[in-house]
Amino acid sequence: MTKRVGSQTLALDRQPSILEGASVAGTKEGQGPLGRSFDYVCQDAYFGESSWEKAESAMLRTCFDLACDKAKTAPSELDFILSGDLLNQCAGSAYALRGLTPPYLGLYGACSTMAESLLLASLLIDGGCGKRVAALTSSHFCSAERQFRFPLEYGSVRTPTSQWTVTGAGTLILGDEGPGPYITHVTPGRIVDAGITDANNMGAAMAPAACDTLRAHFADTGRTPAYYDAIITGDLGLLGRDIVRELLGMEGLDLGAAYTDCGVLIYDSAAQGTCSGGSGCGCSASVLAGHILRCLREGVWGRVLFAATGALMSPTTTLQGESIPGICHALAIEKERC
């Protein structure tokens, strides 16, 4: 039985295993520092389709199929599929996954979706609701730009604080038994709004939520940052990462050298012109299913705290002058059950 620890964390009983992961990325991501960690880098931003939205669905479906293949699991053997994305009405996921046999639970956690889907998948397995569950998500630079910002054809100028939406997808297949790594603890986050209104500074808007969840995780579990070999937030980018480090440091919580961010890792921002780094659901998803999973499997890391972050605004709320609420869900992923 899952056990509550402290105010916000759940210690898992069965501690589900990550059976397999698959990651798909676009050309720019393939040229970045983690290029070799992706299972598939597509040279065609349209993924063979006729629109950016259809491209995103095709990419996510490719990623899902790859993960099932690698896990030697037919889609029909899954007990649940949990997915969501940034497109209006989460259409990227629904169109990618329609017609499949397993029950589908649609999620909206903005760029925190990989952590939210993984967290719920873990809890469903821990509660006996399933033996195999898929958690996945995606984002596409071109569909995100035209929906959240400007049509690509405008060639609009970017601010230094802005982030680059990752064209990428990640899928993890979780099982009740398996060789690990294991999900041992989850800390679901709450909505934190620090009053940031600059839609070109998502790192600053999401950092307070990341601080809130990390603080809760360490307080609830009694662990210190030193327990983890890597503490990795979702897509705060260079600026957001520095804000988290500074804010928690002021409270005496030093994240140390193990702390980094998927949005920092995925691009060489100075060389690739991605300003403050990567963002989007596909950022933390493709880095987790690729780089992080590989490091855990190869023994580079034994214990990772994965804390994906999301900004819950919409273009409409921004136009109406609203501030940007953030959220962050954290999962402890460990090589050994504890």
What does the binding site for its own copies look like in residue numbers (CB under 8 A)? 1-4, 8, 10, 50-51, 53-54, 79-80, 84, 86-91, 94-95, 97-110, 116, 120, 123-124, 126-130, 188-193, 312-317, 320, 322, 325, 327, 329
Q: By C-beta, is 91 or 219 nearer to its own copies?
A: 91
Both tokens assigned to 161: 């604080």
Please check whether residue 57 is in contact with residue 92, taking contact to mean a CB–CB distance below 8 angstroms.
Answer: yes
Closest CA to 181 of 13, 21, 3: 21
Q: Which residue has the tokens 């209104």?
A: 197
Among residues 6 and 35, whose Cβ is nearest to its own copies?
6
Residue 198 CB, nearest distance to its own copies (Å)?
17
What residues are paired with 17 via a beta bridge? 175, 182
User: Residue 109 or 175: which CB sits closer to its own copies?
Assistant: 109
Dist CA 197 CA 217 (whole Å): 27
Q: Which is nearer to its own copies, 190 or 294 (CB)?
A: 190
Cβ atoms < 10 Å from Cβ of 205: 29
Residue 36: helix, strand or coil by DSSP? helix
| Residue closest to 207 by CA, chosen among 276, 304, 121, 114 | 276
We find the least distance from the C-beta atom of residue 177 to its own copies, in angstroms, to be 16
To its own copies, the closest distance from the beta carbon of 190 in angstroms equals 5
Q: What are phi and psi of 10, to 5 degrees?
A: -120, 130
Please compute Rg for the chain using Cα positions.
Answer: 18
Q: HSE-up of 89 (CA within 13 Å, CB side)?
A: 4
Q: Which is nearer to its own copies, 221 or 269 (CB)?
A: 221
Least distance to its own copies, CB of residue 156, Å: 20
From the CB of 304, what's the least distance to its own copies, in Å? 21
CB of 312 vs its own copies, minimal distance in Å:
4
CA separation, residue 45 to residues 49, 196, 250, 296, 307 (Å): 9, 32, 43, 30, 28
